[in-house]
Amino acid sequence: MATEVNFCGIRLRNPVIPASGTFGFGLEMADVYDLDVLGGISLKGTTREARFGNECPRIAECPDGMINSVGLQNPGIEVFVKEKLPALRKIYSGAIIANISGFSEDEYRECCEKAAEAPEVDIIEVNISCPNVHGGGLAFGTSAKAAAAVTHVAKSVSTKPVFIKLSPNVTDIVEIARACEDEGADGLTLINTLLGMRIDIARRRPVIANRYGGFSGRAIFPIALRMVNQVARACRIPIMGCGGVATAEDVIEMMMAGATAVQVGAENLRDPYACKRIAEELPEVMSRLGIKDLTEIIGIV
């Protein structure tokens, strides 16, 4: 079975990629299993300055999912480039995806430039779900104009493929996807988490200290699949599909909807071996479905 996919000229041994924020910097999982079973790794979201993150509690359980409001806790771009990336490359030969976040265009520019200059980075994934501090606090990803502006900034400083990670908390995700494509994005990642909430009915207050958080897990898979399919039918650039993926069958379904590679997020937190299991089960599922080469099924629906 041919599980390899070509991603903007980058060969992935398979399409399975742990999603940003669910696999740390890869280093944390190196003693759990051989990371080289993975097609790529999307590393923890990185900002210009180190961030401690939001107040606790930051996690709320939900049926078939979870809500998180971690708040981009990370050591900052300098530590990321000088320490995390070299350490990971020593033990991992697959595609390294730098996930960049920011609260202004200048911050995106600086972080994308430093990530692009790092020899270990293969792809830059730009998270546009952050609030624009100079634009009234609305997330960059909720406006086609703002999303295009961040795409332009990232592309202006990177010769490496730039993927824009789209927020599902919008009226028309296709409009925003097209705006990113028109501004030169090499690819798109979707979807990021949905906005959710849980209430502690005994204490009569929100479970999450920050009140709302990102809802992820198996429950959002149909929504993610629909959005991937909508964007794949409207755009010509490759897609990393994510949102509720938990099995090899889910990977096949995402690829049929239009994804070239597939990220696994919340399932890693429930089962640390999830990505390894999915990658190892993929050939058997392909055989059962009569699929000889994964590239044959991308966007067939």
Residues 11-21 have pLDDT tens digits of 999 999 999 99
The predicted pLDDT at position 136 comes to 62
Average pLDDT over residues 42-66: 95
The predicted pLDDT at position 115 comes to 98
Domain boundaries, the chain: 5-53+73-195+214-296
Summarised one tens digit per residue, pLDDT across range 102-143 is 999 999 999 999 999 999 999 999 999 876 657 666 789 999
The predicted pLDDT at position 139 comes to 85
Summarised one tens digit per residue, pLDDT across range 175-224 is 999 999 999 999 999 999 999 999 999 999 999 999 999 999 999 999 99
* Least-confidence region, from 133-142, 236-245, 272-281, 289-298: 133-142
The predicted pLDDT at position 116 comes to 98
Average pLDDT over residues 134-161: 90
The predicted pLDDT at position 129 comes to 87
The predicted pLDDT at position 145 comes to 96
Q: Which residues of 214-247 are buried (b: 16+ CB within 10 A; e: fewer)?
A: bbbbbbbbeebbebbbbbbeebebbbbbbbbbbb
> What is the DSSP code string of 36-63?
GGSSEEEPPPB-SS-B--SPSP-EEEET
What percent of the chain shows pLDDT beyond 70?
98
The predicted pLDDT at position 138 comes to 72
Q: Provide the annotated active-site residues.
A: 130
Strand residues in the chain grouped as ranges (E): 5-7, 10-12, 16-18, 40-42, 59-62, 65-68, 95-100, 123-127, 162-165, 187-190, 194-196, 199-200, 205-206, 213-216, 239-241, 261-264
* CB contact at 8 A, 197 and 249: no
Q: What is the mean pLDDT of the chain?
A: 96
The predicted pLDDT at position 133 comes to 58
Per CATH, domain 5-53+73-195+214-296 is 1.20.1250.20: no
pTM of this prediction exceeds 0.85: yes
